Amino acid sequence: MTDRPVELLLMTPGPTRLPQRVLDAGGQPMIHHRTPAFSRALVSVIDGLRPIFGAVTGDVLPVHTTGRGGMEGAIANLLSSGDELVACCNGKFGEMWASLAESYGVIVHRVCTDWTRGTDVAEVEQALRDHPKTRALTVAYTDTSTGGQNDVRAILSVTRECGVLGMVDGISSFGGVPFQFDEWGADVAVTASQKCLMASPGVAFVALSERAWSAYDTGTLPRNYWDFGEARKVYGKAQPETTGTAPVHVYLQLAAALELIHEEGLASVYARHEETARLARERTAAMGLELLFPELEKQSPTLTALRAPDGIAPKAIRDKMTQRGILLAGGLGAYAATSFRIGHMGDIRSADVDRTCTELSAVLAELRSGVPARVEV
Ligand SMILES: Cc1ncc(COP(=O)(O)O)c(C=O)c1O
């Protein structure tokens, strides 16, 4: 017999809480991945994702990996050793794409390396002028380490104009923040199952433009497991398939989650993310907490990164919150010892933010005074 884990309220930027309908979908009997039943689930997932990517006709392909694998796959499929890439590195995940590319022998020019600020179009334009052979640019839409949301639309207008592939990490944003792959002129966009898409980890999705497919035709890096051409071929069969054995239940969960998202309506889902973010920021400010990077041009609607009060370790805050049944995320990189993060993406509602902030306020009072405080419910 296994112990059932204590159910914590996951106020983290992924994985996120699974709604009951998604849990139920994941509890169905196994179906074989080369059957019409699986193909139907696969097609409904891809069709459900199209409006979230804003990709009407082009390819949205599954990759059986987490988000990082989708990012690595994009490098392996589209570039060659010695190609040049400009990487926006204003956070841990911007940097992740830069170092993935370097590990494949791509020459990376890092720009916008200040975590306290959003991406800067002028700096990107300058880098593309300085490095005219640049083939591609990478940028995170929401960088989960800073809580910032980059103006990817503005960046993509530059990549489009310069004939450079625009590659967007939408892992912490798609499904919570609007994105328009076609209209904004993206060439690659990546997301993953476990964040705003409210399913278990295990599947990444990559949208690709025709320009990206031209780069695929000339790229010479080894693709092996990541081969997007192979994924496109098997998805194009009369009975669409995936490469390799699919994590069937993640797809079943995603199909249910996407039904929920579209029943609520994308506009309402985005408005709900804005509202939970506003509430989280208003309530935490009222407790005297400061945003980790208040100077960011835009804070993401999907999470809030906060500075721990002077003299209080973020780990102590998180441990006490866990004791109260709520999991918060730690800070990342150089900010691990001074910050923590509250995720409010996917199925998170105002009531969850409210409960989190009530408990957080009590925890802070307790830590500030060293005396346990009574929680008003
Ligand atoms: C913006 C962003 N990019 C990439 C990743 C890496 O994704 P994964 O952990 O699914 O590999 C994450 C994970 O938190 C993320 O938030």
Could you say which of 261, 296, 323 is where a domain stops?
A: 261
Q: What is the pLDDT of residues 133-163, one digit of tens each?
A: 999 999 999 999 999 999 999 999 999 999 9
Structural domain of 49: 20-261
373 pLDDT higher than 80: no
Would you say 169 and 140 are in contact if contact means Cβ atoms under 8 Å apart? yes
Q: What is the pLDDT of residues 238-267, one digit of tens each?
A: 999 999 999 999 999 999 999 999 999 999
Give 176's pLDDT tier (boundaries 50, 70, 90).
Answer: very high
Residue 14 inside a domain? The answer is: no
Determine the Cα–Cα distance for residues 72 and 365; give it in Å rounded to an integer: 44
The pLDDT value recorded for residue 371 is 57
Residue 245 neighbours by CB under 8 Å, 6+ apart: 33
Domain identity same for 60 and 173: yes
Nearest CA to ligand 1 atom 8: 67
The pLDDT value recorded for residue 6 is 73
Domain identity same for 304 and 333: yes
Give 211's pLDDT tier (boundaries 50, 70, 90).
Answer: very high
Could you say which of 243, 261, 279 is where a domain stops?
A: 261
Expressed in angstroms and rounded, the spacing between residue 373 Cα and the centre of ligand 1 is 36
User: Best substitution site from 10, 16, 63, 68 to test ligand 1's pocket, by max atoms within 8 Å of Cβ?
Assistant: 68
Nearest CA to ligand 1 atom 7: 67
Closest CA to 235 of 32, 43, 2: 43
E-state strands within the chain:
9-11, 59-63, 84-88, 107-111, 134-140, 142-143, 148-149, 165-169, 188-192, 204-208, 290-291, 303-307, 326-330, 339-343
Residue 78 inside a domain? The answer is: yes
Residue 170 CA, closest ligand 1 atom number: 1
Determine the Cα–Cα distance for residues 87 and 101; give it in Å rounded to an integer: 9
Pocket of ligand 1 (CB under 6 A): 13-14, 66-68, 93, 96, 140, 143-144, 169, 171-172, 192
Could you say which of 204, 238, 261 is where a domain stops?
A: 261
* Percent of the chain topping pLDDT 70: 97
Domain identity same for 153 and 192: yes
Q: Apex CA 269: angle with CA 91 and CA 321, to 5°? A: 60
Number of domains in the chain: 2
Q: What is the pLDDT of residues 307-318, one digit of tens each?
A: 999 999 999 999
The pLDDT value recorded for residue 56 is 85
For 192, the 3-state DSSP assignment is: strand
Residue 12 inside a domain? The answer is: no
Domain identity same for 239 and 283: no
Burial 110-131 (b: 16+ CB within 10 A, else e): bbbebbebbbbeebbeebbeeb
Residue 107 inside a domain? The answer is: yes
| 231's tokens | 């994924």
The pLDDT value recorded for residue 370 is 76
For the chain, the average pLDDT equals 96
